[in-house]
Amino acid sequence: MYLHNHGVIMSNIIDIKSPAKDSIYIVKEEKVKFAKGKSNRTRNKDYNMSEDESMHVLAIEKIIGYEFNDFRILINALSHVGYNIQNHIIADGYQRMEYLGDALLDFIVADELYNKYPNYDEGILTKLRSNVVSKTPLAKIIDSSGIVDHILYDRVNTSLSDKLKSDIFESLVAGIYLDSNSLKSSKAFVLKYIRPLIAMEDKRDVSDYKSMLYEFCTQNNRKIEFVLVKTEGPPHDLKFYYDLKIDDVVLSSSDGMSKREATQNCSHEAMEKLGAKEK
């Protein structure tokens, strides 16, 4: 058995009986110096890791921009239970890590939205969060980033569904958190991919609110007009104040850090006052 005590290797040899072969594998560890500016870290050199697994580990680290201290955490995050059964590996697979990653992902995105949109109510924030952390966008991240090529699964009996791919994204979030013992690196990984989705989803939501309001007013022969009342703040941090007039009467007033945000807030408030329902 090997133990680490504050980064010091107590023993660097372990005998493992392979369930697939009646032979002994020796796990070696060494101190490896990484990129300039980073301290030496203890990483497994070869804890009975196949060449295929080693290739996937290095590729994933390059894609996500994080180097794991413990390769086993990353391999576990990438491994479907079918792969472990097929290769006689005694391990949980990614499912337990996906459970943790799901909670971490929700928190990271909720925190980002809460701070990014101080004028959005909990309903809008919840809708934005659910839209960007659902299985479809997460699966697309796995596909577009190339992570999909490095998932370890039984290619004969298992298909890569959107659900499985989104679970892998969440398990990677947990893996980075567990390996780094910190939320910082997990947050960086999540926001690298989620921030563009948030911007796209917010823009689409704004368009939907205004479209629904315009549709309601058209159907009911109501005149609609957005009026910029004033701006406040320095040029790099302007705040916009808008009135929304229906039939020349101010129905709602709101503000935002952009014209789009302010008019979105006006539209949302007006829809509630008019009784217009979201589609």
The alpha carbon of residue 137 and the mean position of all alpha carbons in its chain are separated, in whole angstroms, by: 9
Amino acid 206: pLDDT: 54
Question: 77-104 pLDDT, tens per residue?
Answer: 888 765 554 554 555 667 889 999 999 9
Percent of the chain with pLDDT over 70: 72
CA distances from 239 to 119, 250, 252 (A): 11, 20, 17
Q: Which residues, in sequence order, are CB contacts of 59 under 8 Å at separation 6+?
A: 146, 149, 150
Length of the chain: 279
Residue 112 banded pLDDT, cuts 50, 70, 90: very high
Closest Cα to residue 201, out of 134, 102, 277, 270? Answer: 134
Closest Cα to residue 134, out of 102, 92, 173? Answer: 102
SS3 79: strand
Q: Which residues, in sequence order, are CB contacts of 194 under 8 Å at separation 6+?
A: 108, 109, 112, 132, 133
Percent of the chain with pLDDT over 90: 37
Amino acid 40: pLDDT: 37
> For the whole model, what pTM was predicted?
0.59
* H or E element at residue 253: strand 249-256
Domains and CATH numbers, the chain: 1-48 (no CATH), 50-199 (1.10.1520.10), 220-274 (3.30.160.20)
CA-CA-CA-CA dihedral for 102, 106, 107, 113, to nearest 10: 160
Pair 68, 43: CB distance under 8 Å: yes
Question: 37-57 pLDDT, tens per residue?
Answer: 333 344 554 456 677 778 888
Q: To 5 degrees, how large is the angle CA 26–CA 29–CA 33?
A: 155
Instruction: Take residue 178 and report the two structure tokens written for it.
Output: 């567990």
